[in-house]
Amino acid sequence: MADAHFRVFRGSPGEPGRYDEFDVPAEEGMVVLDALHWIQGHEAPDLAVRWNCKAAKCGSCSAEVDGRPSLTCKTRLSDFDLDEPITVEPMRAFPLIRDLVTDVSWNYRVNETIQPFTPPDDVPQEDWRWQQQDIERVQEYRKCIECFLCQDVCHVLRNHETEQPFMGPRFLVRAAGLEMHPIDQADRRQYLKDSGGIGYCNITKCCTEVCPEHIKITDNAIIPLKERVADRYYDPLQFIWRLLRGGGDEPNVRVELPVLPHGSDGIAESREQGPGEPA
Amino acid sequence: MIDRLERHPHDVLVIGAGGAGLRAAIEAAAAGASVGLVCKSLLGKAHTVMAEGGVAAALRHVDERDSWQTHFRDTMVGGKMMNNPRMAQLHALEAPDRVRELEAWGAVFDRTRDGRILQRPFGGHSHPRLAHVGDRTGLEMIRTLQDRAVAMGIDVYMECTITHLTTGAVGYPTSDGARRTTGAVGYWRTTGRPILFPAKAVVLATGGIGKAYEVTSNSWEYSGDGQALAYRAGAELIDMEFVQFHPTGMVWPPGVRGLLVTEAVRGEGGILRNSLGERFMWKYLPEDRRAEYAATDEEASRWVSALSEGRQTDARRPPELSTRDNVARAIYTEVREGRGSPHGGVLLDISYLPADHVRRKLPSMYEQFKELADVDITKGPMEVGPTTHYVMGGIRVNAATGATTLPGLYAAGEVAGGMHGANRLGGNSLSDLLVFGARTGAGAASYASRIADQPHVDPVQIMDAQRELAAPLERTSGEDPYAIARDLQSTMQRLVGIFREDTDLADALAELAVLQTRAESVCVDGGRAYNPGWNLVFELRNLLTISEAVTRSARLRTESRGAHSRLDFPDTDDKRWGKVNCVVSRAADGAMDVRTAPLPKMPKELRALLDTH
């Protein structure tokens, strides 16, 4: 096979970024991460790449390949026209650490604000009997490998469209997995509405498109959660029922989400010259 | 310099955040210890995430004939009696509770028809025993443990590499000569800044050594860090000659060579054939175990049908479910004798089962082959071959507490030795890391609670560690760490692989000595921030140490047993080797010492279990 021509973003925070070019001998079945490893092993030993399992199971090697948020370990060179250069850039939504590696720690801080699994006190575990079809939806959410590509592509996060924090698709999926767990007792609807900013999602489904695990994030997780929140807060019948029942509402405890920090501006400028930018 | 060093003191420092490390951290924190959890990657990315088939525990949901005693026996038989019997017993006894505990923490396992945790069959297990979630059981486990650890507020240090354990005299400043652990030194991978963790107790849970080989199912993280850190700090390693070559890794395309193909494919009925179409595993069943397997294709087929329909059967299991060491040797032999597939493997076929069933039971295998190899496993066979997967050997530990031979240092999971003997059964590693993760976390917390003051960390050791970190960046010329790593993998793959012999092992030691010398003058470009070349230097050092330990142990054991196959000593020699482990330790002069030590004594009641079955 011919050489593949790569343009790889290089840079650190506070300095103008650049695109280094590499010709990589293409092999049958090769993926973008193979090419990055070849570059590390032969041309640029200090090229920063985050990766781990190389089997699309751990979600570490997320980057943007020709502008598309992708797991580099399952993005095959055979899907590209090798006469054109392939551009590899870091995820845009998160602050740059170096080269293709970004600081995704914000996601971990958001995760900490979600009320964890809360089983009932009064049902012995021997009686937790669930049919397979009743848990398949929850198992779909739990397939998430935390690659954060959905967070990267989500325009609310990527473009910092809100003043208020937004937890993003990944954590709506996690919340859905807890809310719809057959035995979980917690009610996270107020949290989702007031803290998590579920209302900011306007269902463009970009997250579903990039999900390497093929989780139907919007249809199967976010929309059902939005319905639950709407039923709880905006359904007139429920509203009247709550009025009649009087008081007894949940305490108004608002959990503050951390705000997603902006990426480095210098990097953003140099990136905009790249041909791999999404339209 | 030392005064400005970032330091985070803890009662218990856990190094490694896969299943064992997370479980240990949870248990230590529950016991009231201040716990720090360090991982080389982001949290939740550790190798446990790749475990596919399931977690072995005699829950008796699918077959009521199962029991902890049978699980114990299967484990010992699979390990060719090299296992620490007390570990195998605790493991079999406690695995069911550890699995139920995961469910109580939010894990959602696949279900039986009566709504309980479903169990699937696996190689070497007498009954369907593996609780699972399709073929992504490891992800479910690590996420459940991660959520639990986060909810408990455990301090996690992500993308942080530990390069040195520090030790000090017991009872400092009045010393009686014995040493104990005092903490660890490392650096943040994102910035390269050094970091010190003074700790009363340290738990190593760093996993395996697969990156010593060219073809491996393991990620870059598996560089033998814990084994090498423990060895250098003065703890002992055992059984290092026992390296498991998983029978089924992908062989094509080249970029994914070695990537794991879960044993669950065979557990669900996958058939192995050579290029002539022969179901060759019939030829390789060990005579003394043949009665446990089906006698004909027809019986094997009845077993698969019963399994797919979720009912019990009297049919015996297919020959593909022999133990991993045996299947790996069989495949290797078929390929070597010219009956291999186009890319040098054999064919594994599950496509005779309904496509929907295959996609539901093996979703990630379906994706993996479709996306990485253009193969639809519901329509045709997979090409598979052996891949370096797991090290049975590791740090020598106390069965009940995970204590190593160095006071204050603990180890759990793959980094520890003894549990699996000469060969590990599939599914026994996920249960291992739960059972011994919990025991080791408790052991370390208990040890730490008996120490009043945070130990004094010797400043000379800190300075030495920092000098070693800086050296590869300060040299202006020298060896390329990537080149040395490639050469090391080539040496181990060629000379210390599935089949071994004395001349090869001697050659390997000579090559390792040369690599060791080259590694001392290693030089890297760039700075400290997220520099993979610089990071590799310290992993390479660990790989060299454990490669030497594997090779020396393999040379010492002049017999074939389990995963250790000697061409020059093809028979199992119970008389000479059946009652001893190979033990590796660092001699006073810094050289590697390998000797034999008697196996832990088998209690009478456990011996009786092995005799009566």
Task: With beta carbons under 8 A apart, name residues in chain A contacting B524.
Answer: 45-46
Task: Please tell me the distance in Å from B574's CA to the nearest CA on chain A.
Answer: 39
For residue B111, the chain A residues in CB contact (below 8 A) are: 130-132, 135
Chain-chain contact of B531 with A46 (C-beta, under 8 angstroms): yes
- Listed by start position, the domains of chain B span 7-242+392-458, 248-387, 460-587
Contact B438, B97 (CB under 8 A): no
- A with B: how many residue pairs have Cβ under 8 Å apart? 155
Q: Is A58's CB within 8 Å of B50's CB?
A: yes
A101 has a chain B CB within 8 A of its CB: yes
Which of A36, A42, A46, A108 should one mutate to test binding to chain B, selecting the residue with the greatest count of B CBs within 10 A? A46
Q: What is the pLDDT of residue B440?
A: 98
CA distances from A24 to A35, A53, B126 (A): 6, 22, 49
Residue A271: predicted pLDDT: 52
- Helix B225-233, helix B532-556: angle, nearest 10: 70
How much is the pLDDT for A247? 54
First to last CA, chain B: 63
Going by C-alpha positions, the residue among B592, B599, B610 that lies closest to residue B551 is B592
User: Do you find a cis peptide bond into B173, omega within 30 degrees of 0?
Assistant: yes
What was the pLDDT predicted at A263? 67
Q: Give B279-310 pLDDT, tens digit per residue.
A: 999 999 999 889 999 999 999 999 999 988 87
- Burial state string for A208-239 with b = 16 or more CB within 10 A and e = fewer than 16: bebbbbebbbbebbbbebbebbeebeeeeeee
pLDDT, tens digit, 9 for 90 and up, residues B99-151: 999 999 999 999 999 999 999 999 899 999 999 999 899 999 999 999 999 99
Bridge partners, B7 (sequence order): B196
Q: Which of B156, B371, B383 to mutate to test the interface with A (most CBs of A within 10 A)?
A: B371
Sort out which chain B residues have CB atoms less than 8 A from A125's CB and list them: 100, 103-104
State how far the Cα of A59 lies from the Cα of A50, in Å rounded to an integer: 10
Residue of chain B whose Cα is closest to the Cα of A77: B372
The helix/strand/coil state of B405 is: coil
Distance CA B32, CA B9 (A): 15
Subunit contact B481:A45, Cβ cutoff 8 A: yes
Kindly determine whether residue B255 and residue A98, on different chains, have CB atoms separated by under 8 Å.
no
Q: Does B513 touch chain A (CB under 8 A)?
A: no
**Calpha distance B88→B85 (Å, rounded):** 5
Give the pLDDT band of residue B613 (cuts 50, 70, 90).
Answer: low
Q: Which two tokens stand for residue B532?
A: 């993979």
| A 212-231 residues with CB < 8 A to B | none
Q: What is the pLDDT of residue B172?
A: 56
Distance CA(B211)–CA(B489), nearest Å, equals 7
**Confidence at residue A249, expressed as pLDDT on a 0 to 100 scale:** 53
* Model pLDDT, residue A272: 46
pLDDT in tens, B146-201: 999 999 999 999 999 999 999 998 665 555 667 899 999 999 999 999 999 999 99
- Give the pLDDT of residue B50: 92
Asked if the Cβ–Cβ distance from A29 to B364 is below 8 Å, we say: no
What are the start-end ranges of the E strands in B446-563? Answer: 499-500
What SS3 class is residue A142?
coil
Enter the DSSP assignment of B317: B
Q: Is the pLDDT of residue B205 over 60?
A: yes
**Dihedral-angle region of residue A175 (phi above 0 means left; psi in -120 to 50 means alpha; beta otherwise):** alpha
Phi first, then psi: what are they for B559, rounded to 5°? -160, 175
> Residue A150 is which amino acid?
C
C-alpha dihedral, A197 to A201 to A202 to A205, nearest 10°: -170
* Type of residue numbered B424: R
B371–A56 C-beta distance less than 8 A: yes
Q: Is B371 on the interface with A (CB under 8 A)?
A: yes
For residues B129 and B122, the answer to whether their CB atoms sit within 8 Å is yes
Return all residues near B454 (Cβ < 8 A) that are at least 6 apart. B9, B198, B200
* CA atoms lying within 13 Å on the CB side of residue A111: 21
Chain B residues with CB-CB distance to A128 below 8 A: 103, 115
3-state secondary structure of A196: coil
* pLDDT at residue B418 in the model: 97
Q: How many CB atoms lie within 10 A of CB B490?
A: 13
Cβ distance A29 to B253 less than 8 Å, yes or no, reads yes
The CA distance from B60 to the nearest CA of chain A, in Å, is 13
Give whole-number Cα distances, B15 to A20, B165, B205, B233, B425, in Å: 36, 11, 6, 15, 25
Contact B372 A119 (CB under 8 A): no
ipTM score of complex: 0.92
Architecture of domain B460-587: Up-down Bundle (1.20)
Please count the CA atoms within 13 angstroms of the CA of A3 that sit on its side-chain side.
9
What residues contact B360, with CB distance under 8 A and at least 6 apart?
B134
Per-residue pLDDT of chain A (279 residues; tens, 9 = 90+): 689 999 999 999 988 899 999 999 999 889 999 999 999 999 999 999 999 999 999 999 999 999 999 999 999 999 999 999 999 999 999 999 999 999 999 999 999 999 999 999 999 999 999 999 999 999 999 999 999 999 999 999 999 888 788 999 999 999 999 999 999 999 999 999 999 999 999 999 999 999 999 999 999 999 999 999 998 888 777 777 777 776 555 555 678 888 888 764 445 555 544 433 333
Please tell me which of the candidates B116, B140, B219 has its beta carbon nearest to residue A52: B219
Nearest to A114 by CA among A69, A171, A169, A163: A171
Q: Taking all residues of chain B, what is their mean pLDDT, rounded to a whole number?
A: 95
B105:A117 CB<8 A: yes
**pLDDT digits 0-9 by tens, B425-483:** 999 999 999 999 999 999 999 999 999 888 889 999 999 999 999 999 999 999 999 99
The SS3 assignment for B259 reads coil
Please tell me the predicted confidence (pLDDT) of residue A279.
33
In the predicted structure, residue B255 carries a pLDDT above the cut 90: no
**Residue recorded with tokens 């996601």:** A107
Distance CA B206, CA B225 (A): 6
Mutate to test the interface with B, among A112, A117, A121 (most CBs of B within 10 A): A117
CA A124, CA A83: separation in Å to the nearest integer?
A: 63
Q: What percent of chain A has pLDDT over 70?
A: 91
Q: Select from A123, A142, A144 the residue whose CB has the most chain B CBs within 10 Å, as the one to mutate to test that interface.
A: A142
DSSP-derived 3-state class of residue B186? strand
Q: Which CATH number fits domain A3-103+263-272: 2.60.120.620, 3.30.70.920, 3.90.230.10, 3.10.20.30?
A: 3.10.20.30
Q: Contact B45/A47, CB-based, under 8 Å?
A: no
User: CB of A48 within 8 A of CB of A79?
Assistant: no
Note the pLDDT of residue B352.
96
Pairing type for strands A68-71 and A62-65 reads antiparallel
| Class of domain B7-242+392-458 as given by CATH | alpha beta
- CB of A53 within 8 Å of a chain B CB? The answer is yes
Span(s) in chain A for CATH 3.10.20.30: 3-103+263-272
Taking only the tens place, the pLDDT of each residue in B376-392 is: 999 999 999 999 999 99
Rounded Cα gap, residues B180 and B260, in angstroms: 39
What is residue B340's DSSP assignment? -
Which residues of A are less than 8 Å from B118 in CB distance? 132
- Model confidence over A22-81: pLDDT tens digits? 999 999 889 999 999 999 999 999 999 999 999 999 999 999 999 999 999 999 999 999
Q: Where in chain A is the domain with CATH 1.10.1060.10?
A: 105-245
- In the DSSP assignment, the letter for residue A82 is T
pLDDT in tens, B489-535: 999 999 999 999 999 999 999 999 999 999 999 999 899 999 999 99
Residues 6+ apart with CB under 8 A from B347: B272, B273, B274, B275, B341, B381, B382, B383, B384
Q: What is the pLDDT of residues B563-589, one digit of tens each?
A: 999 999 999 999 999 999 999 999 999
Query: What's the CATH code, domain B248-387?
Result: 3.90.700.10
Q: Does B598 touch chain A (CB under 8 A)?
A: no
> Which residues of chain B have a CB within 8 Å of the CB of A12?
529
Residues A93 and A154 sit within 8 Å (Cβ to Cβ): yes
Interface of B with A in 158-187 (CB under 8 A): 158
Kindly provide the b/e burial profile for residues B321-351, where b requires at least 16 CB atoms within 10 angstroms of the residue's own CB.
bbbbbbbbbbbbbbbeeebbbeeebbbbbbb
Q: Where are the beta strands (DSSP E) in A60-186?
A: 62-65, 68-71, 86-89, 96-98, 101-102
A105-245 is classed in which CATH architecture?
Orthogonal Bundle (1.10)
